[in-house]
Amino acid sequence: MSDAAPSVKKRNAFTAVEIVAQIDQVRDWLVAGERPNAIRRLSAELWGLSTRTAEQRMHDARTAMVRDITGIDRQQFAAQLIEAASEIQKAAQDTRQLSNALGALRLQSEILGITGRNA
């Protein structure tokens, strides 16, 4: 007998819910910076996916990311960024990390287009 770990059996069909979960996981891997070859390997190990199917999951994940971005209103997104930068600024000031607080202020001014360099 071999001491090697048992391999995942390749499946021919997945339910729609399983496919969506796989695409979401692949999306998380892409956002985390995983390389395509690592995603193909992980997909084979976890779900028994072929290279071609793993490539399709990556394509579907990227398509979903683009679809999400194109649906965002520019003003709403700018407001979200400013709010996040404000939270960072407050936390930085509370912990006396003043260079980080200045960075958050600079980011807010860039988002709003008031960097002072336009004069």
**pLDDT band at residue 115 under the 50/70/90 scheme:** confident
- Write the CB contacts of 82 (distance below 8 Å, at least 6 apart in sequence): 108, 111, 112
Q: Does residue 38 have a pLDDT over 50?
A: yes
Please name the residues in contact with 65: beta carbons below 8 A apart, sequence gap of 6 or more. Answer: 27, 30
Dihedral Cα 36, 37, 43, 49, nearest 10 deg? 110
Q: Report whether 61 contacts 27 (CB < 8 A).
A: yes
Q: Does residue 1 register a pLDDT over 80?
A: no
pLDDT at residue 117, rounded to an integer: 60
Which of 81, 83, 72 is CA-nearest to residue 111? 81
pLDDT category, 50, cuts 50, 70, 90?
very high
The mean pLDDT value for 33-45 works out to 97
Report the chain's mean pLDDT, rounded to a whole number: 89
